[in-house]
Amino acid sequence: MIVMKFSGPTINDPEAIQNVGELIRSRLDRNPVIVVSACGNTTDDLLESIDLALNGDSDAAIDRIQQVHEYHLSLARNLSLEEKWLTQYEQSIEEYRKELKEFMTGASLVHNLSPKSIDRMLPFGERYSSLLITYYLNTIGVSASMQDSTQFLITSAEYTRATPLLEKSREKIRSTLLPGMEDGEIPVIQGYVGVTEEGTVTTLGRGGSDYTASIIGAALEAEDIEIWADVDGILTADPTIIKNAKVVERMTFREAAELAYFGNRVLHPDAILPAVEQDIPIHIYNSRNPDSSGSLIRASFPLNDFPVVKSIAYKEDMKVLNLISSRMFQAHDFLRKVFEILDRYEMVSDLVSTSEVSVSIAFHKYPQYAEIIRELSRFAQVSLETGKALVCLVGEKMKFQEGLPGKILGTLSDVRINMISQGASEVNLSFIINESDIDRVVKKLHTVFFPE
């Protein structure tokens, strides 16, 4: 049994969906379970319609919903669905359109929506796509059934960023999916969507479809999890900066987790965890170039097969808080007080540098940082630097490489580096630069570590 997850760009037009259908059909002997994201940019369109409604422009919000509806209707018709499936699809998505329209009308009146209300609406993208893929597979002779993930993926009640409750989900996943599969049906499942124990719909946050695939793969004890994207795999660097970036053919779970956390856009950071626990390999493939070897992620590989650095990632829109003790506290009290405040606000720090009387903290898009600065200012001199970026080099062999920090710093001798850290992780070396230097830094490092 395998799990095949398809991202939005892989199902964004009729040709792409036909290609996905052939990929699924080519793996029928491996008993595939299908997980899909919303088609194309549907989730962005739904979010934009919410913003329009909250700003009181219900007409524009409803017009955007109509565009989403017509987009999916066009996909279905251009796929030449069998008549009975097309009729059922048209009827179902008409109900979706009506419900979304009512939602937008209400949102434009209240000018405010809770995360819980937003989570009622965002899963419509996955509903459109999973139903469409199900009917298309049946049209081409593959027996498939849509399986609503709200029937078995149990989560916390942290709306728009829910945490799956893995143990409570496992048996529900097995009891829901396995009977149909034993009868030869291919389940098609919405990624990204779950439900609380009380029955309220939740979403897992951006990239949550990867997480869904990994959870299902772990619950079903799959032999492989395939993530189908619009790139050839995990690359040595962002291809928008490095046009000739290379595919990293093999990578450990630890390396992939670091890359995902520090900005790699191919794999969701949390998606790796359930697969790690079951030691299930994850393959990343390009649906438009299925002959590519892709990237294989496993628990371990022989270290002598690896280059020193596997990939370079970066994270934009970083800020750096610089704190200097006002001598109200001794050194250990100063640090304790700082981290108590960060903990109380649940602030995640990407990089921390400390001395006896000073701390620098790099963080990404934390909405309450002004409140944190206000509290810290009671006992420290606080300054805030914006327009920063975090660059991360990842590789299992980095910890064994003598002189690596010096090599990096020598390569970047004309670049201002704010903070640098290697000891915190055995598989990455990270540092902070000005955001305006990202392209220059990535190109310099790529030339050194991945020469032609």
Beta-carbon contacts of residue 118 (< 8 Å; ≥ 6 apart): 50, 159, 160
For residues 41 and 54, give the distance between their C-alpha atoms in angstroms, rounded to a whole number. 20
Tens-place pLDDT, residues 12-61: 999 999 999 999 999 999 999 999 999 999 999 999 999 999 988 999 99
For residues 331 and 329, give the distance between their C-alpha atoms in angstroms, rounded to a whole number. 6
For residues 336 and 325, give the distance between their C-alpha atoms in angstroms, rounded to a whole number. 12
Mean pLDDT highest for which of 23-32, 99-108, 282-291, 303-312?
Answer: 23-32
Tens-place pLDDT, residues 303-354: 666 678 999 999 999 999 999 987 665 666 788 889 999 999 888 888 998 8
Q: Which CA distances in Å does 379 have to 328, 345, 353, 382? A: 6, 17, 18, 9
Which amino acid makes up residue 48?
E
Beta-carbon contacts of residue 285 (< 8 Å; ≥ 6 apart): 226, 227, 228, 229, 232, 233, 292, 294
Tell me the two tokens of residue 214. Answer: 């990994």
For residues 10 and 445, give the distance between their C-alpha atoms in angstroms, rounded to a whole number. 31
Q: Is the pLDDT of residue 407 over 70?
A: yes
Q: What is the 3-state secondary structure (H, E, C) of 197-239?
A: CCCCEEECCCCHHHHHHHHHHHHCCCCEEEEEECCCCCECCCC
Q: What is the pLDDT of residue 257?
A: 84
Domains in the chain with CATH codes: 2-230 (3.40.1160.10), 311-449 (3.30.2130.10)
pTM (2 decimals)?
Answer: 0.88
